[in-house]
Amino acid sequence: NSYCVIMAGGLGKRFWPVSTKACPKQFCDILNVGKSFLRQTFERANQIFDTRNIFIVTGSAYEELTKQQIPEIPSENILKEPFGKNTAPCVAYAAYRIARINPHASMVVVPSDHFITNDVVYLDNIQKGISFVEQSGGLLTIGIKPTRPETGYGYIQIKKNKFSEFISKVKTFTEKPNKELAKVFLESGDFLWNAGIFIWNVDDIIEEFKTYLEDIYLLFEQEYKNVENPDSPENIAHIYGQCRNISIDYGIMEKSAKVYVMKGEFGWSDVGTWHSFHEISPKDENNNVSNSEQVRLIETKECIINVPKDKKVIIEGIENCIIAENNDILMICHRDHEDNIRHFDDILKHTT
Ligand code: GDD
Ligand code: MG
């Protein structure tokens, strides 16, 4: 008796203007595979979870988009947040929602915007993880072998004595370290990246909320658990209005003494930036990545081009740029400056 929770409330600001407030990254087909990240995530989960056992947590503004992309999902399985309060409230909401069906169920929490290359191994890892937590309890994460000193991820240090062939106890969990620390972690060889996929029993995670995020725990205990019609928009708005904004990583994973990790053996990328998108995409002989056959490139190198499919585009003599167009916005940005992209929307709003 296991449930899958897809977290789909992020804004994907670093992929602007392709990812927008009206249609954030998880609802986009940035990889050009014919379906959105969310749709891919759902189809993957649906191979081992019954549709009724899949919940999607997203902003109420994205209910229609979610229904359009996942028409199979029962309406009551879309948990709507009036506003994003990061992943801890999202997980608490899902846990309390599932607890109403079965307080002893296990749940698998997955991001909605990742690129996974080996579904068979991925699903096998998930199933092994479910069996583990159902027998032993604890908070299980999936770890990925790090390849660069990335500062946008969580780092998991493994205890040397292995718990089982696949699973180790976690010694430390450090969310988003600075560059120096990330380098130390990478070089030590003792660390894995947190893939952002979590497996636990509903009662165990609620217990951890009680210990480490008591305010959120009390809100759901008092305002959700025994309330009539707890999922009404009014009630959820009431709870979220008082909820702290914090991620599950900072709020619980860094602090809990019950964290375990399973090394994920599947291909994984969180496709968090245009840079990581470039890394995983097929490139032409000059290392350019383009999403459309209508784009003509002449003496152009190391560029990322993401434009509407019906647009004829010709680019000559450009290097190291991101060229992205969506709706009425065209963005051209040097790849070394891509950290600034998440501010561009605001800059434009204040100049027009
Ligand atoms: N429902 C809901 N509400 N979903 C949310 C919210 C929210 O307020 N905020 C984020 N999400 C969703 C995002 O859409 C994404 O699918 C997932 O939760 C993770 O959120 P991110 O904002 O993308 O987290 P991150 O990438 O900075 O960090 C997490 O993922 C890394 C791996 O990709 C952490 O778990 C890191 O430790 C991890 O390494
Ligand atoms: Mg992310």
Residue to mutate (ligand 1; options 140, 153, 245, 254; most atoms within 8 A of CB):
153
Which H or E run includes 155? strand 154-162
CA distance 69 to 235: 27
Percent of the chain exceeding pLDDT 70 equals 98
pLDDT digits (tens, 9 = 90+) for 96-115: 999 999 999 999 999 999 99
Which alpha helices (H) appear in 1-111, and where do they start and end? 37-46, 63-69, 87-99
pTM listed for this prediction: 0.95
Residue nearest to atom 21 of ligand 1 (CA): 10
CA of 130 to the centre of ligand 2 (A): 23
Predicted pLDDT at 341: 95
CA of 68 to the centre of ligand 2 (A): 23
CA of 309 to the centre of ligand 1 (A): 29
Predicted pLDDT at 166: 81
Kindly indicate the confidence band of residue 159, based on its pLDDT and cuts at 50, 70 and 90. confident
Q: Which atom of ligand 1 is nearest to the CA of 84?
A: 8
Residue 63 CB–ligand 1 contact under 6 Å:
no
Pair 88, 251: CB distance under 8 Å = yes
Predicted pLDDT at 181: 97
Tokens of 215: 């305010």
Question: Facing residues of 144 across strands?
Answer: 193
Kindly indicate the confidence band of residue 352, based on its pLDDT and cuts at 50, 70 and 90. low
Pair 217, 95: CB distance under 8 Å = no
Predicted pLDDT at 32: 87
> What does DSSP say about strands 259-263 and 139-144: parallel, antiparallel, or unpaired?
parallel
Average pLDDT over residues 293-309: 96
Tokens of 288: 């350019």
pLDDT digits (tens, 9 = 90+) for 189-207: 999 999 999 999 999 999 9
Average pLDDT over residues 8-14: 93
pLDDT digits (tens, 9 = 90+) for 235-250: 999 999 999 999 999 9
Predicted pLDDT at 112: 97
Residue 149 CB–ligand 1 contact under 6 Å:
no
* pLDDT for residue 61 is more than 60: yes
Q: Is 302 exposed, middle or buried (0-12, 13-18, 19+ CB in 10 A)?
A: middle
Kindly indicate the confidence band of residue 160, based on its pLDDT and cuts at 50, 70 and 90. confident
